[in-house]
A and B are shown apart, each in its own frame.
Chain A
């Protein structure tokens, strides 16, 4: 599924995260940019939502969740012909070296580190989702914005 960045305000997003605060921040930020957001507390609930013939433009998936975590949910999504073309973005607090490759290698279409930066949300999304198209020629992920803060 190709994403129409022109009509980003019409995007529908499925946000899966177990932290209520995080859901509030991310969903309200997305809605701030005009998107429609549905939320789920874990992978299982997310899969239930997708059963209802509703297909979002992108899915944002927290990696560590109870019941069904991001990794398992991704495998389910990518093995289902109905959902396998929807770009799935990994959402993780683990900004540790090596985590982003793990996610990309596992099949995520992009990787975003929490916290979500509201002002640069759209650029970050664009950057994160550019990955897949780049993968064929270059596996290396883009640096996350937080690295800019690394100092002497």
Chain B
């Protein structure tokens, strides 16, 4: 993905800006959110603990209230009278008073108590007042039962021996009593009634409603779920009422069964809190034990539970706000960067395009306009000045080139004219010499003949020199066109053989041609130039060979990629030191040979240049006194092979 940045400045700048903006924004947000999460959790925890503690303490106080009410009742004169008369059996009046006492007591406290009873020493209910439909109602004798076997009675009776100064109060475990159609949770508070002499006269019992306590502990913020469990984890309070009183109802639902790990923690400690417990990772819980002092039957645990989502809900909106703000500033930053970088990149692009256009030769490229006076304006100004400089120089160069071309043309023309002018008189000199030598103006005596021969020979030499100079000039100026066509090496060899036979005969030499059977029937080359090359080489061979032979070979080299023309002689040879220079202009082996073998010294230079412009190369091997071997090599084009195959096919069909 980095290649799109590598080639694009704008993208790179935007990338850097976005990173520079995003990273601190993200870091700040994460820090912010995590610290506010911490703060929220801490505060929620504190609130929970505080609420549980306050409410538990209040509950404990409420639970203690019936004890004093019971003691008040048991100390009431009506009750005392009954106790003291119980042994005498004269209790009727006392019982009526007790009944009234109960009625008035329950009439006042019908929201706290559901029942109040006086039992005799055997456990039989003697007087019972019950709150029915909000009214303290005296139970008829038919409704009275013997509670002698109830645990609260037997437990109350056994409490006696321990306490002396104050009548002990027994508090039963919670139980459910039927009230109309509903079952309501209650606690039975019971106290032993003893006469002044210590005789057990009976038991006083009040049935306290648990509802006020439940109402009290349930007073908390709406998000909290309130649970109350006993020592076994049975629910006394649960938002889901179907889970209540598992033990009494004989169903196996309790804190222990639902959240075993939490239950173990909660039931074993007096208070504490659980954040993201193993059982309930998404909740914060606080718990505290409710255990009113001085009694053994009540040991409950109050639990407040709050889902973490409720606590941390505000963080979500905070995060959303952060994301939105970050997003908006990101968009804004990208837009700003775009605007800024466009201001930088656009002129650069324009400059680059202009530079490209100019370098590709579009001269009428409009120059970029300077619109600002800043660094970019300076750059454009500098660029434009440079372009003007380049244009001026290009024009100068063009002018110079045109001048040079014109000069070359004039030079060529001059050379052609000069050569013509030089040749015309030379031709006349040679022609007249010829005529005199032919005896057309009378026979010459030997001396005259000799002088005339010298005259003619020097004329011819001068003419050849001029011709060769012209040739080499034209070749070097590449004014000689190479026209490649197919030709038959066999025909060329035959023609040369015929042409050279006169020369060979005159010099008493043997001339042999040989054609490699591997060589294609036709080759591609400029035949005329090739012939010129070969004729030059053959002429040299004949010139420098006194006896023996001159050989012309056409062949294909060892790896079959080149074809070669080889001219071999058995002549005087070339000394090693001269091998390197013989192809250079105006170089002959030495001054003496130059005189002995008259020539311009340009023949091999012309030959080499011709071979070069024909894409070949020439090489020489020689041994002094043994002879020389000139090899001209040309690449064998695959075209030639294909042509041959095609020709063969045509012929075959």
Contacts and interface: CB of A to CB of B under 8 A. Distances in A.
Interface of A: 19, 21-22, 24-26, 28-29, 32, 64, 93-98, 101, 114-119, 138, 140-143, 146-152
Q: Across chains A and B, which 3 residue pairs bring their CB atoms closest together, nearest first?
A: A151-B599, A25-B431, A21-B428
DSSP class of A's interface residues: helix, strand, loop or mixed?
Answer: loop
A94 B427 CA distance: 11
Contacts of B535: 143, 147, 150
B388 interface: no
5 contacts: A25-B434, A32-B438, A115-B428, A150-B602, A151-B603
A133 to B, nearest CB: 14
A148 B539 CA distance: 6
B536 A93 contact: no
B601 A152 contact: yes
A146 B642 CA distance: 39
Interface of B: 416, 419-420, 423-428, 430-432, 434-435, 437-438, 440, 460-461, 463-464, 467-468, 470-471, 474-475, 480-481, 487, 491, 499, 503, 527-529, 531-532, 535-536, 539-540, 543-544, 582, 588-589, 593, 597-604, 606
Given A29-B431, A147-B532, A94 B589 contact: no
B603 A152 contact: yes
Contact of A93 (B427, B434, B487, B503): B427
A28 B434 CA distance: 11
A29 B503 CA distance: 24
A146 B603 CA distance: 12
Contacts of A149: 460-461, 464, 539, 598-599
Nearest to B594: A152
Nearest to B488: A138
B463 to A, nearest CB: 7
B467 A25 contact: no
Nearest to A137: B491
Given A25-B435, A115-B463, A152 B424 contact: no
Nearest to A29: B435
A96 B474 contact: yes
Contacts of A64: 420
Contacts of A148: 503, 539
Given A97-B480, A98-B480, A28 B467 contact: no
A95 B589 contact: no
Given A96-B467, A96-B471, A118 B539 contact: no
A32 B440 contact: yes
B460 A93 contact: no
A114 B539 CA distance: 20
Contacts of B460: 146, 149
A114 B427 CA distance: 6
B431 A152 contact: no
A97 B434 contact: no
B543 to A, nearest CB: 6
A45 to B, nearest CB: 19
A142 B527 CA distance: 11
A96 B599 contact: no
Contacts of A93: 419-420, 423-424, 427
B438 A118 contact: yes
Contact of B440 (A28, A140, A143): A28
Contacts of B544: 152
Contact of B464 (A32, A119, A146): A146
Given A21-B432, A118-B434, A149-B464, 18 more contacts: A19-B424, A22-B427, A22-B428, A25-B428, A25-B431, A25-B432, A32-B435, A32-B440, A114-B423, A118-B435, A146-B460, A146-B463, A146-B464, A150-B600, A150-B602, A150-B606, A151-B600, A152-B603
B499 A143 contact: yes
Contacts of A115: 426-428, 430-431, 434, 463
Contacts of A143: 499, 531-532, 535
Nearest to B606: A150
Contacts of A118: 431, 434-435, 437-438, 440
B539 A96 contact: no
Contact of B491 (A21, A114, A138): A138
A121 B602 CA distance: 27
B536 A150 contact: yes
B431 A22 contact: yes
B464 A152 contact: no
Contact of A22 (B416, B424, B528, B588): B424
Contacts of A141: 528
Contact of B540 (A97, A140, A146, A152): A152
Contacts of B597: 151-152
Contacts of B440: 28-29, 32, 118
Contacts of B528: 101, 140-141
A115 B466 CA distance: 13
Given A22-B427, A141-B528, A147 B432 contact: no
Contact of B532 (A21, A94, A97, A114): A97
Contacts of B419: 93-94, 96
Contacts of A142: 499
A24 B432 CA distance: 9
Given A19-B428, A97-B471, A118-B435, A152 B589 contact: yes
A96 B604 CA distance: 16
A119 B598 contact: no
Contacts of A22: 424, 427-428, 431
Nearest to B598: A151
Contacts of B468: 150
Most buried by B among A64, A93, A96, A152: A152
